[in-house]
Structure 1
Amino acid sequence: MEFWLTFNNGQEKLRLPVPPSEFEISQGNINTVVNINDIGEINLIGKGKLATITISSFFPAQEYDFCDYTGFPKPYECVAMIEKWRNSGRPIRFIITETLINLACAIENFSYGEKDGSGDVYFTLELKEYRFVNVQQAALEQKGYSMPATKREITKTIPNTYIVKKNDTLWMIAKKLTGKGENWTIIAKKNNIKDPKKIYPGMKLVI
């Protein structure tokens, strides 16, 4: 089991030389309790909370036998790397191999210090899950569309109407405007189109 911290899509990486002896990830939902007359309390299940995780270990000043690997950075080089990432205003990625943990995270707190004069630097790192928000995707989901998975930020604005052109099909229009051809059924429903073949050049569609 390896503990990795990466930054900038893996261009900068740090594998912990001494893995934490334990870890615990906290996850949950944002539920709302509502009191209804004649019924009492009911629990409305909400969306998931941001996961949190705290790990503690140390950066060794020498290559002990129990270290996971050799040739690791010096303790304060590791500290400087994490401090640089913390001050960047950007998330890191936290990975524990052989588990399901592979999360984009914000560094909430990072504390470190020495204890025994060995030069080893002990640290505690508190992380909170980071969710990438795409403004256009959120707007489309409010309209009922599903968006294809993508790693690139989409800045294209989706129009509210579209004029059908020669050789257009509903599938092609949906693919062009929403990025997913399967969304043609939503466009058809919005425009009361029962037969997708019966569209014609110049026809105005509500998107």
Structure 2
Amino acid sequence: MDYYLSFNNNEERLRLPVIPSSFEVSIPHQNTTVNINQLGEINLIGKTGLMSMTIESFFPNQDYSFCLYRDFQKPYEYIKQLLKWKDSGRPIRVIVTGTPINYAMAIGSLTYSEVDGTGDVYFSLELKEYKFITTTGQTTTTKSKTTLTTPPTIREVKSPSNSYSVRKGDTLWLIAKKVTGDGSNYIAIAQKNGITDPSKLSVGQRLVI
């Protein structure tokens, strides 16, 4: 079993020189408990939450027989590297060979200390799964993509002319609709022009609008 931590698509890589005695993985589920009349308490199953993991081990200051390799760095060089990754605001990838663990993860906290005078640096690394979010500018109704809406159509309102010459086939209602945009204005046009019978119009007749 090996523990590999990498940064920026494997541009930087750290292999733990000492295998942790144990690790703990927690995978929560976002369930919701509600109380419904006559049914009592029920459990609504939600989505799987983010996986969290804690790794505890130490960076050796000398070559022990149980170290996985010999050309390891000084303990605080590893600590500096982990702190740099943590402060970058970017996730790292964590792989534990022989297990399903192969996740992009964010460093939640790093705790380290010296306890026995050997110069070995003990550490505890708290990690939480990181999910990459992809957005697109395409028009769509899904939540993960940008939704574009069409602006409302603006109705064009016609401004009335000062006068109108009656043409063949015209009625007072058609004239009102044509020059004012509203056929019901024919009553006002009839009154303005002293027309008592709107059905009696003459071709060429001049109407004041």
TM category (shorter chain) comes to 0.5 to 0.7
Correspondence for 2:34: 34
Deviations 1:104-139 (A, max 9, x none): 1111110111111111111111111111112339x9
| 3-state SS in 2 of match to 1:56 | strand
Percentage of identical aligned residues: 55
Alignment TM-score, normalising by the size of structure 2: 0.66
Deviations 1:155-174 (A, max 9, x none): 9x78789xxxxxxxxxxxxx
Correspondence for 1:44: 44
Larger helix proportion of the pair = 1
Correspondence for 2:132: 132
Distance 1:119 1:108 in 2: 25
Q: Cα distance, 1:11 vs. partner?
A: 0.7
Alignment TM-score, normalising by the size of structure 1: 0.66
Deviations 1:45-70 (A, max 9, x none): 11111111111110001111100112
| 3-state SS in 2 of match to 1:20 | coil
Q: Does 1:5 align with 2:5?
A: yes
* Letter in structure 2 aligned against 1:24: E
Correspondence for 1:22: 22
Q: Summarize the Cα distance change of 1:141–1:82 in structure 2 as closer, same or farther, 3 Å threshold.
A: farther
Q: Does 1:71 align with 2:56?
A: no
Q: Which is worse superposed, 126-135 or 14-23? A: 126-135
Distance 1:100 1:92 in 2: 16
* Letter in structure 2 aligned against 1:83: L
* Letter in structure 2 aligned against 1:105: M
Distance 2:36 2:45 in 1: 16
Distance 2:136 2:55 in 1: 35
Correspondence for 2:62: 62
Q: Which runs of 5+ in 1 are unaligned?
A: 146-154, 162-207
Deviations 1:75-111 (A, max 9, x none): 1110000000000000111110010001111111101
| Greater Cα radius of gyration, structure 1 or 2 | 2
Distance 1:102 1:141 in 2: 33
RMSD over aligned Cα atoms: 2.4
Q: Cα distance, 1:72 vs. partner?
A: 1.4
Q: Cα distance, 1:141 vs. partner?
A: 7.9
Q: Cα distance, 1:43 vs. partner?
A: 1.1
* Letter in structure 2 aligned against 1:12: E
Report the count of equivalent residues. Answer: 149
